[in-house]
Amino acid sequence: MLKLENITKSFNGTTILNKLNVEVKDNSILSIVGPSGAGKTTLLRCIAGLDRPDSGKFILNGDTFDPADSTETERIIGIVFQDFNLFPHLTVMENVTLAPTMALKQSKEEAKENASGILKELELQTHVDQYPFELSGGQKQRVAIARALAMKPQILCYDEPTSALDPSLRDAVGKVILDLKETGITQIVVTHDPAFAENISDQILQVKPINK
């Protein structure tokens, strides 16, 4: 279980997150919803260790955990960015195997074997040798998910997973997220789309702009 206690974050004297508390149970899906500017991405970035809250605590499985300071963060928490952030000069297979070989010190063979399994699950097996520019938006997103999963995170975060996609692909992303739940991973999804959140979530956290 991941627990957030009194997470507070300001930018330039403006409080964005004010003593936020939430508990995310293992193997569940939490959606973070709210209007633009409410602080959803800021919260996700704090959870993923890309930003540091001004105060408050993260507790992972009973122990205090600082995502921004832990060398373990990339093995614990993965993130799928809104614009996918794939490496344009690397193939799908290379995108997915890079971090496991560098950070987890997997051999190339081991990383490729793991990646092949994940890419098959995500129906990308025929795209392994392609480059990101050759893929559709939905395929790029699945590669970004595969790349995060290759690090075997306990928690996978998504920043607006439906916003860069054609509306018809919204259900497909929802299905990928729900299917992943069956694999035992905890997922945290930032979305401005309440209907999408309603469809996939076990729990919804509503963030509101402060003082507005």
Is-contact 210 16, C-beta < 8 A?
yes
Rule CB under 6 A: is residue 87 a binding residue for ligand ADP?
no
User: How near is the Cβ of 156 to ligand ADP at its closest, in Å?
Assistant: 18
- Interface with ligand ADP includes 211 (CB under 6 A)? no
The answer to whether residue 137 forms part of the interface with ligand ADP (CB under 6 A) is: no
Which positions ≥6 away from 89 have C-beta within 8 Å? Answer: 131
For ligand ADP, the binding residues in 42-61 under the rule CB under 6 A are 42
- In terms of CB distance, is 38 or 135 closer to ligand ADP? 38
Which amino acid belongs to residue 154? Answer: Q
Burial class (CB in 10 A: 0-12, 13-18, 19+), 82: middle
Q: Is 119 in the site for ligand ADP (CB under 6 A)?
A: no
Is the Cβ of residue 37 or residue 194 nearer to ligand ADP in the bound state? 37
- In this complex, which beta carbon is closest to ligand ADP, that of residue 16 or of residue 96? 16
Binding flag, residue 194, ligand ADP (CB under 6 A): no
> Measured from the CB atom, is 74 or 159 closer to ligand ADP?
159
H helical segments located in the chain: 40-47, 73-76, 92-102, 108-121, 137-149, 170-181, 194-200
Between residue 11 and residue 40, which ones bind ligand ADP under the rule CB under 6 A? 11-12, 16, 34, 36-40
**Beta-sheet pairing, 2-11 with 14-24:** antiparallel
Q: Which is nearer to ligand ADP, 38 or 119 (CB)?
A: 38
Q: How many positions of this chain bind ligand ADP (CB under 6 A)?
A: 11
User: Which of 32, 8, 38 has its CA nearest to residue 20?
Assistant: 8
- Residue bearing tokens 């403006």: 14
Residues within the interface to ligand ADP (CB under 6 A): 11-12, 16, 34, 36-42
